Chains A and B, each alone.
Chain A
Amino acid sequence: MKCAEVRKFVRLYLDSELDAKQSFEVQQHLELCAECAGLFEAEKKFDQRLGRFLRSADAAPALWKKIEAQIAPAPLAKFKAFWPLALAASLIIATGVAFFTRSRNLDLAKAVEECHSAYVHQITTPEFSGPVPEKIAQQFDGRLDAEAFAYRPSERAFTTSGARLCHVEGVPVALILGHCAETPVSMIVFRKSELDHFPETKRKLESGDPIACSRSGRYQFAARFVDDHVVCIVGDEPRPALEDLLRTVRGADG
């Protein structure tokens, strides 16, 4: 790709709107061309500064408390007697939120958060356990394989309740649902070739980091390459525990 083309597409690249091939070509060009890379950095800074300005309004926790109380009045009423405890918990949560919002989420971590959140809140449930049913395999559209559903951590702490096919930012993924002790943990597996949809994660994994870690909203996230796949684990577990779990992940023949 030449400079003129890259400049035409760089805005779409930053917005993650290019297809995998174009995105890869832009990325390759930016690695080689200092001038385009400089302009790309300027545009990225523009996004960051604009984002900071647009998000700078004062938050109104009291408003959200009022709104949430209208949705779940009974449970909130129950906790009235425990207000000192609730206050302490709120402070801990607020400190946590302030800390976590400072650390930037990787694009893939951000994309899979909803998937895991839906599992935690029992909106998403497993579709099958054991071999991939034929009618699901037909939906792979040549972009996923049954092997993706066979990855499991060898660690005994992880128990799986089944799997389902999902789409994350349009990418078909194997979603393997399980628990570590009582904590829900999601494992997301997809083909390495689809990683172009998540350029930040791709850069991190290809820069030599064996494991890419990040927050995924309120959860922890870790990802790494295993054979021809990208394997991610998301859960409300300490980051080192997730990393350890991820290191033990093997495919069907591993």
Chain B
Amino acid sequence: MNNQEQHSAAARFLGLLRPIETDLENYSRRMVFDRRDCEDALQNAVLRAFRAFDRYHDDASFRAWMFKILTNEIFAINRKRGRVAEFEVSVEPEEMEEFASLDFAGDVPLSWETLADTLDEELLAALQSLNQSERAVLLMRAIGDLRYREISECLGIPLGSVMGNLSRARQKMRDAILRAQRRESL
């Protein structure tokens, strides 16, 4: 690749990267077990992606592609910190409907959004209590806005596991809301 081609590739890459930088950063901050690793994870992932940019196909989602690379980087860093990825396959695709039915917030009080800062504390504690797979799936959906199929491809797990992990993670976050409400009413 000559200089001009390199500049042109860099411009194209940055054009796709910039709209999703904030999402990648939020995802990384919430995913790493040690906050100090966030910047390393982002830097390594972006440089790795740029080196592999000639293998990126324009019919694929750049967002999903970047999240996949960043997730691999974060898992590698977390592993060094002594925490192992937990991707136990516990749900089969045919059980998807069952999980879908569990995943509804009928028990969350309608007035909860008026809760004060105690809610953020409870949500943070709940987020930290999630295992790595639950956390990755929840963040990829809530921050990355990825489809279930894209999350499944990013993490290399079946679609049913994506739904199972997402359902459990959301339930734990809802429980946090209920706890915050109880604390407020005391």
Interface, chain A (partner B; CB < 8 A):
7-12, 15-17, 38-39, 42-43, 45-47, 49-51, 53-57, 59-60, 63-64, 66-68, 70-72, 74-75, 110, 113-114, 117-118, 120-124, 166-167, 169, 217-218
Contacts and interface: CB of A to CB of B under 8 A. Distances in A.
22 contacts: A8-B100, A15-B147, A42-B105, A42-B106, A43-B105, A46-B170, A46-B173, A46-B177, A49-B112, A49-B119, A55-B26, A57-B29, A64-B25, A71-B47, A72-B14, A74-B7, A114-B63, A122-B12, A123-B16, A167-B59, A217-B19, A218-B19
Given A46-B177, A55-B26, A74-B7, A114 B143 contact: no
A205 B25 CA distance: 34
Contacts of A217: 19
Contacts of B170: 46, 50
B47 A39 contact: no
Interface residues of B, number: 58
Q: Pick from B17, B59, B104, B173 the residue with the most CB of A within 10 Å.
A: B104
A114 B145 contact: no
B11 interface: yes
B68 interface: no
A21 B21 CA distance: 35
A124 B167 CA distance: 37
A111 to B, nearest CB: 10
B92 to A, nearest CB: 17
Contacts, number: 129
B148 interface: yes
Contacts of B139: 54
A45 B127 CA distance: 18
A72 B103 CA distance: 45
A57 B25 contact: yes
Contact of B15 (A16, A60, A121): A121
Nearest to A18: B100
A166 B142 contact: no
Interface of B: 7-8, 10-19, 21-23, 25-26, 29-30, 39, 42-43, 46-47, 50, 58-59, 61-63, 97, 100-101, 103-106, 108, 110, 112-113, 119-120, 123-124, 127, 139, 141-143, 145, 147-148, 167, 170, 173-174, 177
Contacts of A16: 147
Nearest to A107: B145
Contacts of A53: 119-120, 123-124
Nearest to A68: B14
A123 B13 CA distance: 10
A64 B21 contact: yes
Contact of B106 (A17, A39, A59, A113): A39
Interface pairs A-B: 8 shortest CB-CB = A121-B12, A72-B10, A121-B15, A8-B101, A11-B103, A57-B29, A123-B58, A217-B19
B12 A59 contact: no
A16 B58 CA distance: 23
B104 A11 contact: yes
A17 B12 contact: no
B145 A17 contact: no
Contact of B46 (A49, A50, A67): A67
Nearest to A219: B19
Contacts of A167: 59
A70 B47 CA distance: 8
B134 to A, nearest CB: 13
Contact of B100 (A9, A50, A56, A67): A9
B4 to A, nearest CB: 11
B101 A7 contact: yes
B7 A72 contact: yes
A15 B61 contact: no
Contacts of B101: 7-8
Given A12-B100, A53-B123, A67-B46, A117 B15 contact: yes
Nearest to A61: B21
B113 A45 contact: yes
